[in-house]
C-alpha cells in the first residue's frame, strides 16, 4: 500500500524561514540569502519523507507567505496599484501584495477556512489580464527531481481559487467570480504542460471549497473546469484533494464524476461521514487517498482504530480480477496539510515524558502514515503498534487528565444563560459617569512593539539567567514607557503593552492547569508570524491570579483608565491543540470559568475596563451552516460566563480580527459586551456594510481605522476619512477609534506616527461634531 502527505510545515523546526524573511524585510540580508534558506528547508523535507518511505511526496506546498498568494502570482493577477508591468513576479511585488509598502496598502488577509492560518485574498474583476507570471510550481518540482525525489506538484484548484477570491474595489459586488474560469484555465494549462514536460506523473489540485455549502451552479463549475482541463491532463494521474469537513452527497457525486481525475483525497478525521459515502459508492479503477492521520492536531494516531477503518475501505476500493491479483487503490494519507501542526517532537526536550508519549508532530505523523500503509500491506511493525496502543491506554487512564471539581463546576453551568442583570444602554450610562470619556474615545487593542531587548529579558528569565526582581523591574520599566507614550499621544483608554507576554494564548495557558507547553512547537499563522499553541491535555482551572499584578502596576502609573487584558475562552480553545477525548464545548466551559475568576479579581483590584479578546470566535465557526447554531450558542455563552458577575460600572470590551463577521453579527450582539473593537480597515470596511443594511448595534464599537499588519503609516486625513464612513452608519456616542489589532509585530518608528495620526483624526472629528450641534 502507498502513502501520501497532503502538505508539510514551511517555517522549519526552529523557525528558520521566519528569521530569514524578517532579515530580508529589514534589508539585513539579500534575496539570495533568503532563497538559500528556503531551498535548504525544502531539500530537508523532501529527503525526510523519502527516507521514511512516503511514495507520494508533495512539492509546491512551500511558500514565502501563503499558497493563495502564490497562485495569484502564478496567474499574474496583481492589482494595478502595485505597479507590476509583466514578467516573472519578484519579491518586491510579491511582498507588497502581502504586506503593503510605503505608498499602497496590502491586500486583504483572512482566515483559511476554520483554521488560524491566514491567506491573502485575491482581488479580481472582469478586466484582470491573467498571464503565467510565476513558475514556482515547475521550478520546485525540478528542484526536487534534481535531488532524486519524484514529487507530486500541488496547485490550488481553479474553482477553489475563484470561490475564495473577492471582487476588486470598484467591481460590482454581484460580479460572478466563477465567470473568470475561462480566463484562468489557459494559465493552468501552461503550468500543467510544463510539469508534464519536466517529468511529473502525478499532480494534486487542492479543492477544499468542495466541503462548503455550495449551490448547483458552483458545483457544476468543478465539472466544467476539469472537463476543460481533461485533454491537457492526459497522461498525468490527477488527485483532487479535499479537507476540513465531510463532503455532501451532491459534492461527492460531482467529485467522483470529474473527467480526467484519477484519485480523490478525503479528510476522514473531520469528515467522518465521508467514509459512508465511499462504502456506498466508489468508482471502479479510481484511487482513494484516505486522510486518517490528523493534520490539525498533535495527538498520536490511534493506529489500531485507523487500521480498522482502512481495512474496511480496502474492501471497497480494491479491484480483484482474480484471487491474489488485486489493484491497491487505497493510499494512506494525512487528513489535510501538516502545515497546521508543529514540526518535530524530537526538538521537545522539556516536555513531560508521559505527555510526550501521547503526541505526534508533523515528522511523527509522516512515520504514522507510512506505518499504516505498511500494516495494510501485511508488513505491520508490531513493536510500533504495541507502543502506540500503550500510549493510548496511558492517556485514557492517567489521573492528571481528570479533575472532578472542575467537571462538577462546568456541569452546574447548565440551566442559565449567564447574562448581566442590566441592559447595555444602562451599563454604558453608568460607565460614562465613572470614566468620563470624550466622544470618539481612542484606545489600542493591547500589545505594543516587542523589542529585541524585551524578548531577550523574557527569554533569559525563563532560562533562569535573570532574577525575578530584575525581570519584574524590566517589565515595569517597559510598561512605564508604554504608558508615558500613550499619555504623550493623548490616548484616552490605555493598555500596559503586554511586555510579559510572548503570545496571548500561551501566556494564559502557562498559568492554567490542564495545559502543557512546547519549546519549538511553532505553527505558521501568516507570513513570518508563528504561534506556539499550548496543548490542552486535561481539565482546566486557574490556580491563582494571572494578570492582576501587571494591570494594577500599570494602573498605578496613570490616572487614565487602564484596560485589564485577557484572552477569551473561545480564542484560547481555538488557538490551542485541544484534547480530543471530550467535546470541545466542555473544554471551553472549563476555560470560561477560569477566566471568570480572573475578571472578578481584576474588578476587585479597581480595574474598571477589562478586555476579553475573542479574536478567534468566528474562526471556529463550522464550515457547514447546519452546524452554526450549536457552535455559536456555546461559544457566545462561554464569553458571557466570563463577565456575568461584574458591576454595571465595569466596562467589558472584546476584540475580533481577520475573519468575515457579517454573517455572525447577531451572535456578536448576543455576546453582550459593552464595547467591541473589530478589524475593519484591511478588509475594505466590509464590516460597515452590515450596518448600512440596517442592523442596529447599541453597544460601543470600534471598527479598526488602520491595518497594523503593514509597515505603512496612514495619514491623519486617511484615518479621518475612515471615521467619517463609520459615522455615516453608526452613532457618534457609541463609536470608538482604534487600530485593527495589537501592535506587537510593528516597530516603534511605525507605531508612534500612526497612533499620533489616529488621535489627531479623532480630535479633528470631535471638533467638527461639536460645531455641528
Residues marked active site are found at 709
751 vs 76: CA distance, rounded Å: 33
> 700 by DSSP, 3-state: which?
strand
117 vs 127: CA distance, rounded Å: 30
DSSP state of 765: H
What H or E segment, with its residue span, contains residue 32?
Answer: helix 31-52
**What number of other Cβ atoms are within 10 A of residue 572's Cβ?**
32
311 vs 378: CA distance, rounded Å: 11
436 vs 457: CA distance, rounded Å: 37
386 vs 377: CA distance, rounded Å: 18
Cα–Cα distances (Å) from 642 to 411, 551, 670, in that order, read: 16, 18, 14
**What number of other Cβ atoms are within 10 A of residue 357's Cβ?**
17
What H or E segment, with its residue span, contains residue 485?
Answer: helix 468-489
578 vs 538: CA distance, rounded Å: 9
Grid cell at residue 81: 496599484
Task: State the pairing for strand pair 109-111/118-120.
Answer: antiparallel
Q: Are the C-beta atoms of 611 and 565 separated by less than 8 Å? A: yes
Helix H segments across 605-662? 628-643
What's the burial of 76, exposed, middle or buried (CB within 10 Å: 0-12/13-18/19+)?
buried
For 326, phi and psi rounded to 5 degrees?
Answer: -110, 145
> 349 by DSSP, 3-state: which?
coil
Q: Which of 487, 453, 611, 471 is nearest to 559 (CA)?
A: 487
Residues forming beta bridges with residue 152, ordered by sequence position: 58
Write b or e for each residue in 38-66: b if 16 or more Cβ atoms lie within 10 A of its Cβ, otherwise e. Answer: beebbeebbebbbebebbbbbbbbbbbbb
561 vs 476: CA distance, rounded Å: 18
321 vs 698: CA distance, rounded Å: 69
DSSP code per residue over 519-552: SS--EEEETTEEE---EEEEEEE-SS-SSHHHHH
Grid cell at residue 84: 507590476
Q: Which of 497, 491, 487 is nearest to 437 (CA)?
A: 491
641 vs 258: CA distance, rounded Å: 48
Q: Are the C-beta atoms of 550 and 525 separated by less than 8 Å? A: no
299 vs 141: CA distance, rounded Å: 31
Give the count of alpha carbons within 13 A of 447, CB side only. 24
Helix H segments across 644-747? 665-670, 686-692, 716-727
Grid cell at residue 522: 511553532
> 695 by DSSP, 3-state: which?
coil
Cα–Cα distances (Å) from 439 to 158, 227, 424, 427, 700, in that order, read: 48, 59, 18, 17, 11
Grid cell at residue 289: 487517498
694 vs 600: CA distance, rounded Å: 36
Q: Are the C-beta atoms of 739 and 447 separated by less than 8 Å? A: no
Which position has the grid cell 491506554?
Answer: 393
Q: What is the number of residues in the chain?
A: 773
Amino acid at each position: 500500500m502507498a502513502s501520501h502527505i497532503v502538505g508539510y510545515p514551511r517555517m522549519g523546526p526552529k523557525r528558520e524561514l521566519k528569521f530569514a524573511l524578517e532579515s530580508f524585510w529589514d534589508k539585513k540580508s539579500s534575496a539570495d540569502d533568503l532563497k538559500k534558506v528556503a531551498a535548504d528547508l525544502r531539500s530537508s523535507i523532501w529527503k525526510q519523507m523519502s527516507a521514511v518511505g512516503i511514495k507520494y511526496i508533495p512539492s509546491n506546498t512551500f511558500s514565502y507567505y501563503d499558497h493563495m498568494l502564490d497562485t495569484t502570482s502564478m496567474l499574474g493577477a496583481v492589482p494595478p496599484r502595485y505597479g507590476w508591468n509583466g514578467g516573472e513576479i519578484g519579491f518586491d511585488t510579491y511582498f507588497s501584495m502581502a504586506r503593503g509598502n510605503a505608498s499602497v496598502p496590502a491586500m486583504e488577509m483572512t482566515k483559511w477556512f476554520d483554521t488560524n492560518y491566514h491567506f491573502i485574498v485575491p482581488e479580481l474583476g472582469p478586466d484582470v489580464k491573467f498571464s503565467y507570471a510565476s513558475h514556482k510550481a515547475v521550478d520546485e518540482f525540478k528542484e526536487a527531481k534534481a535531488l532524486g525525489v519524484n514529487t507530486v506538484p500541488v496547485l490550488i484548484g481553479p474553482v477553489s481559487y475563484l470561490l475564495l477570491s473577492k471582487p476588486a474595489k470598484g467591481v460590482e459586488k454581484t460580479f460572478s467570480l466563477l465567470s473568470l474560469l475561462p480566463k484562468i484555465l489557459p494559465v493552468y494549462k501552461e503550468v500543467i504542460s510544463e510539469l508534464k514536460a519536466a517529468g511529473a506523473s502525478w499532480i494534486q489540485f487542492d479543492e477544499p471549497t468542495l466541503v462548503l455549502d455550495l449551490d448547483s451552479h458552483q458545483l457544476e463549475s468543478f465539472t466544467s473546469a476539469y472537463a476543460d482541463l481533461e485533454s491537457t491532463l492526459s497522461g498525468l494521474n490527477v488527485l483532487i484533494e479535499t479537507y476540513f469537513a465531510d463532503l455532501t452527497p451532491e459534492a461527492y457525486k460531482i467529485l467522483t464524476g470529474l473527467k480526467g481525475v484519477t484519485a480523490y483525497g478525503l479528510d476522514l478525521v473531520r469528515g467522518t461521514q465521508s467514509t459512508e459515502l465511499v462504502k456506498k459508492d466508489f468508482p471502479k479503477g479510481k484511487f482513494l487517498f484516505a486522510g486518517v492521520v490528523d493534520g490539525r492536531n498533535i495527538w498520536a494516531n490511534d493506529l489500531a482504530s485507523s487500521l480498522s477503518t482502512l481495512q474496511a475501505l480496502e474492501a471497497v476500493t480494491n479491484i480483484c480480477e482474480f484471487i491474489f491479483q488485486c489493484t491497491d487503490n487505497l493510499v494512506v494519507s494525512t487528513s489535510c496539510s501538516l502545515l497546521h501542526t508543529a514540526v518535530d517532537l524530537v526538538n521537545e526536550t522539556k516536555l513531560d515524558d508521559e505527555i510526550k508519549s501521547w503526541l505526534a508532530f508533523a515528522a511523527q505523523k509522516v512515520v504514522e502514515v507510512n506505518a499504516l500503509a505498511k500494516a495494510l500491506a501485511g508488513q505491520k511493525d508490531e513493536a510500533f503498534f504495541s507502543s502506540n496502543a500503550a500510549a493510548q491506554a496511558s492517556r485514557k487512564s492517567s489521573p492528571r487528565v481528570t479533575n472532578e471539581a472542575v467537571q462538577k463546576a462546568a456541569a452546574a453551568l447548565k440551566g442559565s444563560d449567564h447574562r448581566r442583570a442590566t441592559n447595555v444602554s444602562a451599563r454604558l450610562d453608568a460607565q460614562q459617569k465613572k470614566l468620563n470619556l470624550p466622544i470618539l474615545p481612542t484606545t489600542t487593542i493591547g500589545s505594543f512593539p516587542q523589542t529585541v531587548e524585551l524578548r531577550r529579558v523574557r527569554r533569559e528569565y525563563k532560562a533562569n539567567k535573570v532574577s525575578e526582581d530584575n525581570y519584574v523591574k524590566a517589565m515595569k520599566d517597559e510598561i512605564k514607557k508604554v504608558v508615558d507614550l500613550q499619555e504623550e499621544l493623548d490616548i484616552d483608554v490605555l493598555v500596559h503593552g503586554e511586555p510579559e507576554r510572548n503570545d496571548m494564548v500561551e501566556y494564559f495557558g502557562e498559568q492554567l492547569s490542564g495545559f502543557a507547553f512546547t519549546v519549538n512547537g511553532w505553527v505558521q499563522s501568516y507570513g513570518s508570524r508563528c504561534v506556539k499553541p499550548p496543548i490542552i491535555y486535561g481539565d482546566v482551572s486557574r490556580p491563582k491570579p494571572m494578570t492582576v499584578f501587571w494591570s494594577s502596576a500599570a494602573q498605578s502609573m496613570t490616572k487614565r483608565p487602564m484596560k485589564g487584558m485577557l484572552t477569551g475562552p473561545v480564542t484560547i480553545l481555538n488557538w490551542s491543540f485541544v484534547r480530543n477525548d471530550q467535546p470541545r464545548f466542555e473544554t471551553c466551559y472549563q476555560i470560561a470559568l477560569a477566566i471568570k475568576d480572573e475578571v472578578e479579581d481584576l474588578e476587585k483590584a479597581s480595574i474598571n475596563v477589562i478586555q476579553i479578546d475573542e479574536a478567534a470566535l468566528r474562526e471556529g465557526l463550522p464550515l457547514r451552516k447546519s452546524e452554526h447554531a450549536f457552535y455559536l450558542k456555546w461559544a457566545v455563552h462561554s464569553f458571557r460566563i466570563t463577565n456575568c458577575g461584574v458591576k454595571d460600572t465595569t466596562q467589558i470590551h472584546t476584540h475580533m480580527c481577520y475573519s468575515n463577521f457579517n454573517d455572525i453579527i447577531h451572535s456578536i450582539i448576543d455576546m453582550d459586551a459593552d464595547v467591541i473593537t473589530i478589524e475593519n480597515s484591511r478588509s475594505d470596511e466590509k464590516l460597515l456594510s452590515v450596518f448600512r443594511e440596517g442592523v442596529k448595534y447599541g453597544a460601543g464599537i470600534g471598527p479598526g481605522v488602520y491595518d497594523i499588519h503593514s509597515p505603512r503609516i496612514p495619514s491623519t486625513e486617511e484615518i479621518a476619512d475612515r471615521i467619517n464612513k463609520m459615522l455615516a452608519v453608526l452613532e457618534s456616542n457609541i463609536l470608538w477609534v482604534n487600530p485593527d489589532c495589537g501592535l506587537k509585530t510593528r516597530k516603534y518608528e511605525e507605531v508612534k506616527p500612526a497612533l499620533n495620526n489616529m488621535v489627531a483624526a479623532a480630535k479633528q472629528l470631535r471638533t467638527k461634531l461639536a460645531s455641528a450641534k
